[in-house]
Structure 1
Amino acid sequence: MKKLDNNGKHTKIDVKRNDEIGYLMKTFNTMSYNIDYLVNVNYREKLTRKEAQIKALQSQINPHFIFNTLENINWLAQLNGINEISTTVTALANIMEASICRGSKLVTL
């Protein structure tokens, strides 16, 4: 029991008895295994959840970053009076906006 308390990992006791003490030792082994299993399952679940959250955030950041960059280019073109670049970048931003479903679900042709 001290090993389990000190390192927190599954510790197995060799059981060579068939009396109440042996039963207690077997039960301790089962309890130690179950604790170790549940800690590992809980850890993996939290790790998987965090990885999924990071991936979700990354997938949101990338399109928005590109969209905002296109908007900056659009405004720079408008400020400098370059209407062709502004029109092209605005069209590209509209296509991108439709692809990430930022606007309505229907896309007119």
Structure 2
Amino acid sequence: MGAHLVRRYMGEPEPDPRTIPASPVGEQFQEREMVATQEEMNLAKLPLAHRDYCAHLLIKLMKCKRDMGLNIFGCMDERHEYDYCQHLDYVQRMKQYERERRLLVRKAYKEQMNAE
């Protein structure tokens, strides 16, 4: 825990999820499907930045906030579910990034050894 903080300050910066390299080995993992459909996201008027794996939970959270009005503690369960989903998604992306980075480092090392 905390390795991403050390890397951010001492080594390479934290990766942008949109620029994660994809190797042929990484293609064997299936992409997780979004639970919310495009139609549901359009009806909820979700911005493009929030249309990710946790969009279905964000739709529930937005609906709860709309229904509860000024009761700020009324949607704590939905908020917790959404935040936990975002955390799990982040962890999964970082694991994928680390795996891809290690594969690229190993590939470069093998090419260097073959060249010598």
TM-score, structure 1 length as denominator? 0.44
Structure with bigger gyration radius: 1
Question: Which structure carries more helix by proportion?
Answer: 1
